[in-house]
Amino acid sequence: MPKKQSTAAQRAREAARQGGKYTQALRTAEGPAADATEPDDGFGGHEFEYESSTDLFRCTECRVYEVVARGTDGPIKPCTGLVGYGGDTERVYLLLTENPALQYSHAAFLATKVRSTGIGRAPRFSWRDGKLLVESAPSVVAELARRVELITSTIEDRQVPAVASVDRLTAEAGRALLAENYAAYVAEFGEPA
């Protein structure tokens, strides 16, 4: 017998079927989280999205299904992050400073390149003033830093580094920077939808 879903979960499921984000709809229905970037936001840091092929919700980070992460109506097990993190739940951050020689911002380009490594990602509110904050796990952050330093862009038929510097930050420093970026975003644009 399938387990009974809460009204909030049913509404979120319907929102996802219509193209919305399941986790965002569920967060909205259940009330505001203190900080959606924290793993203790009630979802264990997971970002669940609807997967039509299975009619289930799967985390875009660790690829676990919500029914597995939640178990038997207990709390959600914390997200282990990208598969390339090797199950390491600790987080560290890299602060990437864009190369000022580039003619325009390469934040989206850098975020995509970092995500494609499978060992890092740019969390929400990670870019501000030419700097991109990238999350990783302690066991793979050195390799991610090495790969980021190899990213180049073309200027006048020559390859130049896409980043001017790569600074390592602790989990606390990274979360503090995310909080600052979020506050700056809210001050400029208002609360995100």
What are 15-27's pLDDT values in tens digits? 777 777 666 666 6
Confidence of residue 10 (pLDDT cuts 50, 70, 90): low
What are 67-78's pLDDT values in tens digits? 888 877 678 888
User: By CB neighbour count within 10 A (0-12 exposed, 13-18 middle, 19+ buried), where does 125 fall?
Assistant: buried
Which pLDDT does position 186 carry in this prediction? 92
C-alpha distances (whole Å) from 142 to each of 119, 120, 167 are 10, 11, 11
**pTM of full prediction above 0.85:** no
Amino acid at 156: E
Backbone angles phi, psi at 131, to 5 degrees: -125, 135
Average pLDDT over residues 46-54: 88
User: By CB neighbour count within 10 A (0-12 exposed, 13-18 middle, 19+ buried), where does 53 fall?
Assistant: exposed
Which pLDDT does position 8 carry in this prediction? 61
Residue 9 has pLDDT above 90, yes or no: no
What are 143-154's pLDDT values in tens digits? 999 999 999 998
